[in-house]
Amino acid sequence: METGTAVNHVPHTSAEGSTGVQQSKARRWDVKRDDYLSWDEYFMAVAFLSAQRSKDPRTQVGACIVNCENKIVGIGYNGMPVGCSDDVMPWVNWDGVSNILETKQLYVCHAELNAVLNKNSADVKHCRIYVALFPCNECAKVIIQSGIKEVIYYSNKYGFKDECIAARRLFDVAGVKYRQYQPERKQIVIDFSAVDVVQWTPPSNSVPSTRPALNGDQVPKNVSAQDLSSVSLSQT
């Protein structure tokens, strides 16, 4: 029962939870969650979140390198080399006809390369890499040379291109495994306001509830849909 305030602290129940999961039943505050992210979901989502840093108007790709202890050791996204201003370099996509020197193709560092170069460990040997798109041949070389042993990709929409065909050939010969990510949910929503929800377990095993707001509580402001940052795993 809500008393003492005009602001209702509504627990995430039939709406979306903090991970954007559609829940069919009310959440118990005193029982372990069973809708938490799997490792694959977590690391692929990190890759997709990283992609949102990209300035590329057409393709935003992120990559996340993980070691055998499920610890992240490198993150990257596609972008211009350090010191090459995003405002000076071209972002036009090469169409095969125009002057390639005035397109992004010859200048952009792909997400996989940046993730390897950004590593926070001595090396990335025996690691796996999560990436939104199946790697191109240039990134395949970097992946193989750095010692990464598995590629988990979300989309293979450019798989027909020579760059991806060559990459598969390189992976097959070098013994690097690759598999397509199997999404367990369509999207993961990051709702910053969820942390402000006041959670309280009633003394009996009755229905989930919230307690009345007390003096000193942080009362969350009303958050509109526009305030929510969404990272969709269905966009590549």
Which residues participate in catalysis according to the annotation? Answer: 112
Among the listed residues 145, 142, 164, the one whose alpha carbon sits nearest the alpha carbon of residue 153: 164
CB of 136 to Zn ion, least distance (A): 3
CB of 135 to Zn ion, least distance (A): 5
CB of 25 to Zn ion, least distance (A): 43
Residue 35 or 138 having the CB closest to Zn ion: 138
**Residues binding Zn ion (CB under 5 A):** 110, 136, 139
**Element at 153 (helix H, strand E):** strand 150-155
Residue 65 or 139 having the CB closest to Zn ion: 139
Q: Are 219 and 10 in contact (CB under 8 A)?
A: no
CB of 8 to Zn ion, least distance (A): 49
Note the residue count of the chain: 236
Residue 116 or 136 having the CB closest to Zn ion: 136
- Tell me the C-alpha distance between 44 and 97, whole Å: 35
Name the amino acid, one letter, at 78: N
Residue 16 or 163 having the CB closest to Zn ion: 163
> What are 206's two structure tokens?
């009755």
CB of 108 to Zn ion, least distance (A): 9
- Tell me the C-alpha distance between 140 and 148, whole Å: 10
Which residue is listed with tokens 């969650």? 33
Give 190-202 as a 3 state SS string. ECHHHHHCCCECC
Q: Are 213 and 165 in contact (CB under 8 A)?
A: no
Residue 110 or 128 having the CB closest to Zn ion: 110
Q: Under 8 Å CB-to-CB from 159, ≥6 apart: which residues?
A: 134, 165, 168
Q: Are β-strands 229-232 and 187-190 bridged in parallel, bridged antiparallel, or unpaired?
A: antiparallel
Q: Which class for 68: exposed (0-12), middle (13-18), buried (19 or more C-beta within 10 A)?
A: exposed
